[in-house]
Amino acid sequence: MTKLNHTPLAVFIALLAVVLLACGLAASTWRVFGNTWDEPEHLAAGLELLDQGKYTYDIQHPPIARVLLALGPWLAGARSENTPPPNGEPEGQKILYAEGHYDLYLSLARAGTLPFLALLVVVTFLWARTVTTPWISVGASLLVAVTPAVLGHGALATIDIAAASTTLLALWLARRWLGSGRITDAMALGVGTGVALGTKLSALPFAGIGGPLLLLLAGWARRARRVKPVVSGRRWALGAALVVFLVLVILTLAYGGGFIYLTNAQHKFSQTLWYLFGFNGFWHDLAYQLFSWVKVPEAVKGFLGGVEAVSVHNQNGHLSYLLGDSRAQGWWYFYVVALTVKTPLPFLVLGCLGLARLAWCGIRRNEANLLTLPALWLAILVFVSLFSHINIGVRHVLLLYPLWAIGAAMLLADLWTWCRMVLVGRVRLMVGAGLLLLTLWPLVVVVREWPDYLAYFNVLAPDPEQVLVDSDLDWGQDLQRLSRRLQVLQVPSLSFAYDGSALLDREGLPPFRLLGPDERATGWIAVSALARVHAPDRFAWLNQYPRVEQVGKTIDLYDVPLATPAPTPAP
């Protein structure tokens, strides 16, 4: 296994520079955009746990990342408003807009994502070091650091970057423990897995897929090389038990560290016990007897309640939009399309070819290290494609980008070596120029697309609104841009169609009214992309008027003239 302590100091300095670049690019967009759909609720949930010691808002997401998002505003004076659960959006709105601290609280909340963005860059390096050299590993980290989808979500007070980074770290720690069997590695895996599960519940299926896959690949490699395991079964069992114990400890602490009765004489119904054991029967009765006098960590109720909430959410689906169609149950090809149009083309092509090459080399050489990355990437993509009915953004599969970036960086490095060692004369110059363009293209994209990393689409989607919208294009982020633009244009009043979680009357808009269903209007009209695709027939009448401009990437602005009366016929 690659030893990190054999990595030159210059590589660590370069990696630090990449981390600072990613964090700086993300932070540079904070003051451009207003809050997106999910940010108020994440802030409310984390602040409730910090301030009140309870966790009741939108429990389908665990608390670890949310607490870190809320820590900065809490230290700056933000406090929980005790809005009734389970919807935490009104609570988050009260917190953000209270006492004129909107920009401060939102920026501090977004700063809570930066440690996870930094971790994602570092974890990319760690995974890359399992298959390639230190400098190519830095190159893979750089590719991730300048990926628009990663930067866009890394700039928000949401939990998707946190989920991607902690899950990938847990899988890397699992690989290390499977390779060594050391107790210290088992302890690290237990802590890492607990943090991942306490960050987002998507870690549960991703770890459930990745862990056994890593185990199978390690066994396959040993059998192919006829190598016996160097660690005894007892040592493995001890390590596994330690992993489980530490996961439980981390989750217990994440949910506040308290202990509760799941049921008692005053509270005879327990949602948790019903979910586990049903309404009646022997096991139901036994569980109710046992947990009426044995306290358990509050995390049991919180975590299992979150699992149940996510399961119900996935079963019921979520209204989604793809290629001009809206439906609740999603599409098996949603994430394939999303990754295809949301990824810079050179990264897309090099990543696919690079992972395919790694898989081929791994099979041919019987090397599990080489096969692990493409196998993980493909397994996770197949899983979400077949089983996820919550198709609301590429943000749910951000952990695929680091694996993709490693394949792309390795292939690009090999192409440079081939160009230098094999080609000569003009051919070398021409091919070298093409490779230089491929190498610099991600940086060109970052400069050209600033600050609209969240809404980035490549040339395969010239009209993004016809492909994807929710959280891939429009997450309500351009409202402050609209307010500033209307002030410049001196717009006296506005008719508006908007989907988001901002409080419109606190956003500095001119006097406005919301467009009702099938309502037509004159004068200045603004329509957000998300509002349009959720009710396309409502705004078809606007197609006959030229758009004055597009504010940001998501809000169309019109100036519809008053109806002109028909001319009187000549006598």
Tokens 């309502």 correspond to 519
84: left (phi over 0), alpha (psi -120 to 50) or beta: beta
Closest by alpha carbon to 157, among 79, 67, 56?
67
Q: What is this structure's pTM?
A: 0.94
Predicted local confidence at residue 266, as pLDDT = 64
CA dist., res. 450 & res. 553, Å (int): 11
- For the record, the structure tokens of 40 come out as 């108020």
- For the record, the structure tokens of 418 come out as 């081939």
CB 272, CB 304: distance < 8 Å: yes
Q: Which residues pair with 40 in a beta bridge?
A: none
Closest by alpha carbon to 37, among 318, 450, 305, 312?
318
Predicted local confidence at residue 563, as pLDDT = 64
CA dist., res. 519 & res. 514, Å (int): 10
CA dist., res. 83 & res. 459, Å (int): 45
- For the record, the structure tokens of 197 come out as 């599960």
- For the record, the structure tokens of 208 come out as 């459930």
**Alpha helices (runs of H) in 423-478, residue ranges in sequence order:** 425-449
Predicted local confidence at residue 393, as pLDDT = 94
Three-state DSSP at 559 gives: strand
| Residues comprising the chain, all counted | 571
CB 479, CB 507: distance < 8 Å: yes
- How would you label 8-37 residue by residue, b for 16+ Cβ within 10 Å and e otherwise? eeebeebbeebbebbbebbbebbebbbbbb
Q: Which residues pair with 297 in a beta bridge?
A: 259
CB 488, CB 43: distance < 8 Å: no
CB 247, CB 413: distance < 8 Å: no
Q: Which residues pair with 259 in a beta bridge?
A: 297
User: How many CA atoms, within 13 angstroms, populate the side-chain half-sphere of residue 457?
Assistant: 22
H/E run at residue 551: strand 547-551
314 alpha carbon, distance to own chain's centre: 17
CA dist., res. 446 & res. 24, Å (int): 12
Identify residue 140 by its one-letter amino acid code.
A
Low-confidence ranges of the chain (pLDDT < 50): 1-3, 564-568
Predicted local confidence at residue 235, as pLDDT = 85
- Residue 308 DSSP class: H
Give the 3-state DSSP-derived string for 9-71, with helices as H, strands as E and coil as C.
Answer: HHHHHHHHHHHHHHHHHHHCCCCCCCCCCCHHHHHHHHHHHHHHCCCCCCCCCCCHHHHHHHH
Predicted local confidence at residue 140, as pLDDT = 97
- For the record, the structure tokens of 420 come out as 């230098």
- For the record, the structure tokens of 452 come out as 């609209």
Query: β-strand 523-528 against 494-497: which pairing, if any?
Result: parallel
Q: Which residues pair with 526 in a beta bridge?
A: 496, 557
CB 493, CB 511: distance < 8 Å: yes
Predicted local confidence at residue 282, as pLDDT = 86
CB atoms within 10 A of CB 223: 10
Q: Which tens digit of pLDDT belongs to each residue from 449-492? A: 999 999 999 999 999 999 999 999 999 999 999 999 999 999 99
CA 246-153-389 angle, to 5 degrees, is 75
- For the record, the structure tokens of 396 come out as 């749910």
CA dist., res. 279 & res. 273, Å (int): 9
- Residue 367 DSSP class: -
Q: What is the DSSP string of 470-521?
A: BTTTBSSTTHHHHHHHHHHHT---EEEE--SSS-GGGTTPPSEEEPPTT---
Predicted local confidence at residue 368, as pLDDT = 86
Predicted local confidence at residue 243, as pLDDT = 96
Burial bucket for residue 505 (CB in 10 Å: 0-12, 13-18, 19+): exposed
Handedness of CA 515, 520, 526, 530 (dihedral sign): positive
Predicted local confidence at residue 397, as pLDDT = 97
Predicted local confidence at residue 263, as pLDDT = 85
